Amino acid sequence: FWKASDSLQSLTFSFEIVGGIAAFLLVPPFLVLNEIYRRNGRPSQVMVPAIAAACGVRILEFTFNAGVRMHSNWMVKKWTLTDQDLKAVTISFFTVQSQGTWLFAMDYLFLAFGQISAALLTYKCQNTMPRWWGHLGMVAGVIGLLNFLVELGRLGSWLRMSEIGFLLQAVDGFILMPIWTLALGCKLYSASATSARQLMDDDQRGGLATRD
C-alpha cells in the first residue's frame, strides 16, 4: 500500500491541485451569472454561496490530504519500522482520513445545490441561459447528490461504493461538467461582448446628443 501511495503521490497531488483551482475558478462566473439573474428580477440567495462553499471545501480537502499523505509517506520511507509499526501507521492513516469523510463529501453536496439552483433560475428567466444548459445542470446536480451519498456509503461497503463513486465521478467530471462549464463561459463571453457594444453605442449617442 505505502509503495503504491508513494509512487502515485505526485499524480494524486496534481489532480487535487487542479480540482482546487477549478473549483476556485467557478466562483467569478457564478457571480456574473447571478448578476444577470438579478437584472431579470430573479436573484439567487443559494447559488453563489453554495458554489463558494464547494470551493472552500475542495481547497480544504487538498490541504488536509496533502499534509496527511506527505507526512505518512515520509514516515514510512525514512523511518525504520517493523511490521507492527507499519500496521499502526496504516490504521492511524485511515483513521485520520475518515475524520474528513463527511466534511469532504460536502463539496459534492454544495456544488449540486449550486447547479440545481442555477437550473431552476434558467427555467424561470427567459433569454438568460439556454434551457438545455439548465437540463444539463439539473442532471449534474442530481449526480452530485448521489456522489455525496456514495461517499458516505463507503463506510458501509467500501469496494462496492468506490466502484459506483468512480463511475459517477467519471460521468460528471469528464462529460457533464466540461460541457456545462464551457457553455457557461461561452454564454457569459457573448453576453459581455453584447453589453460592451451596447455601452459603446450609448456613449456614441450621448456624444452626438451633446454636440447637437
How far is 34 from 29, CA to CA, in rounded Å? 9
pLDDT at residue 204, as a whole number: 52
Any residues with CB less than 8 A from the CB of 42 and at least 6 apart, and which? 121, 124, 125
pLDDT (tens digit per residue) in 150-159 = 888 877 777 7
Rounded distance between C-alpha atoms, residue 156 and residue 59, angstroms: 26
Distance, in Å, from the CA atom of 109 to the CA atom of 128, rounded to the nearest integer, reads 25
The C-alpha torsion from 198 through 200 and 201 to 202, rounded to 10°, is: 90
Task: Report d(CA 147, CA 179) in Å as an integer.
Answer: 19
Crossing angle for the helix pair 101-124 and 27-39, nearest 10 degrees? 30
Angle, helices 131-153/177-211, rounded to nearest 10 degrees: 140
pLDDT tens sequence across 45-98? 889 899 999 988 888 888 887 777 777 777 777 777 777 877 887 888 777 777
Concatenated DSSP letters for 49-78?
HHHHHHHHHHHHHHHHHHHHHHHHHHHHHH
What's residue 70's pLDDT?
A: 76
| DSSP character at residue 4 | H
